[in-house]
Amino acid sequence: MNIDAKIYVAGHRGMVGSAIVRRLEQAGYHNITVRTSQELDLRNQAAVAEFFTQERPDYVVLAAAKVGGIIANNTYRADFLYDNLLIQNNVIGQSHLHDVQKLLFLGSSCIYPKMAPQPIKEEYLLTGPLEPTNEPYAIAKIAGLKLCEAYRAQYGRHYISAMPTNLYGPGDNYDLQNSHVLPALLRKFHEAREQRRPEVELWGTGTPYREFLHVDDLADACLHLLLHYDGAAPINVGTGEDLTIRELAEMVRDITGFKGSITFDRSKPDGTPRKLLDVSRLRDMGWQPKIGLHEGVTAVYKEVFLEPKATQVTE
């Protein structure tokens, strides 16, 4: 990837897209093209076509998506499926029509079957039913992955896909109704400490296992894949290590300094029992994460909740 190549990062204001832009700039790539959603609605085929005609990017990183946690996924099921299909169909399709040299599609570990064997290998895709609460989002991501495969098979396009595990880091969403589990925990425990509450109540049983990756590590992996990978198979991106939600909650309690107890509302859903990615393919390519979970969560908590500029926690 030539240092002067024009790289379009779709979704540059999101947690993933902004991290990828930072990593590309750190590596010396200076010809990075971005658009806000106000400037370019990726659901609008004509607008996307006009953008590609004008800009002619050499590389595309598709990090734009409609995303959210378990509540948002289960509530806005039609929106998550429809909007994500439009976004990825338009960007991938126009990349083909305008001869983009290489495209990286960012999927999600939720594409794998709910009861997939652990750790989850890439070949387990489409071998069983999905987790019902985020099925529409997962189906959209599977469609995007398969569209990249199809353009590769039919037209010889160099389109690749990466499947990240659960992410956290700068630029995350802390709205309790729409956020993922880790940012939600950070906000809940921080506010409980500030308000001196005696306990924090969490959804489910606390027994599901989850894996977490700092978004800066994901961005580093994405650059590694752009430079060193050109295969049809999706590539898992994670740490290869997990912990229970209860263990995560206890870690966040310690990091935030909350002194109260933790209780669980067992009437609420747990989601997938375990979701640990097999990351052996990526490790075999010479990449592994650098940021430990406790280190990363501590840094994020200080940046978002304790520094004077901390404004991301408001809805």
Residues 6+ away with beta carbon under 8 Å from 218: 16, 19, 162, 164, 167, 237
Give the max Cα distance, the chain. Answer: 61
Band the pLDDT of 271: cuts 50, 70, 90. Answer: confident
Give the dihedral sign, CA 41/87/58/28.
Answer: positive
pLDDT tens-digit series, residues 61-94: 999 999 877 777 888 899 999 999 999 999 999 9
Q: Are 83 and 141 in contact (CB under 8 A)?
A: no
Distance from CA of residue 275 to its chain's centroid?
14
Band the pLDDT of 314: cuts 50, 70, 90. Answer: very low
pLDDT average, residue stretch 134-142: 95
Structural domains for the chain: 7-169+212-237 (3.40.50.720)
Rounded CA separation 38/41 (Å): 6
pLDDT tens-digit series, residues 188-241: 999 999 999 999 999 999 999 999 999 999 999 999 999 999 999 999 999 999
- Find the catalytic residue in 8, 29, 137, 229: 137
pTM of model > 0.85: yes
| Statement: residue 309 has pLDDT above 70 | no
Q: Is 229 a catalytic residue?
A: no
pLDDT of 142? 98
pLDDT tens-digit series, residues 258-267: 999 999 999 9
Band the pLDDT of 1: cuts 50, 70, 90. Answer: very high
Binding-site annotation, residues: 11-17, 106-109, 141, 164-167, 180, 188, 203, 210, 270
Band the pLDDT of 60: cuts 50, 70, 90. Answer: very high
